[in-house]
Amino acid sequence: MRERLGDDKQRQSQEMMALYKAEKVNPLGGCFPLIIQMPIFLALYYMLSASVELRHAPFILWIHDLSAQDPYYILPIIMGATMFFIQKMSPTTVTDPMQQKIMTFMPVIFTVFFLWFPSGLVVYYIVSNLVTIIQQQLIYRGLEKRGLHSREKKKS
């Protein structure tokens, strides 16, 4: 599609939407896993914040309390990095420059928010991001073997 349409982003977007419609693909289908995770995320947040059993219970390395924020802010930074890698691995279909800027700063914004979240919740999000990265890599490898995907650099 890129070769046929060149750099015309608007036309590419229209063609992509037509392809989605023809193949009965919902472009918002990627939001479904996030919506499913939201109740788990909220339940973990409230459980970790209120859990008496987790207070001062050792976990690993520097994390001595899963119900408290990371004292050195290492976990939120790791979470932001994994979110950044997911974003860079994902194909961009957004053509609006404002939306592109917002998407670019999302890992930074989430990192700042997660500075005050319980460590257990940040660990959950890191593991979720790592599973997503591995899943995307496996899918892309399968697509590359069939010639349906190439690892060319994305233009920013």
Q: What is the pLDDT of residue 30?
A: 62
The count of other CB atoms within 10 Å of the CB of residue 85 is 16
Q: What is the pLDDT of residue 27?
A: 64
Spans of the chain, pLDDT less than 70: 1-2, 5, 26-31, 33-34, 48-49, 52-55, 57, 93-96, 149-156
Q: What is the pLDDT of residue 154?
A: 47
Which pTM does this prediction carry?
0.65
Q: What is the pLDDT of residue 78?
A: 96
pLDDT tens per residue across span 28-42: 666 676 677 778 878
Q: What is the pLDDT of residue 121?
A: 86
The count of other CB atoms within 10 Å of the CB of residue 120 is 22
Closest CA to 94 of 154, 24, 23, 34: 154
Contact 80, 117 (CB under 8 A): no
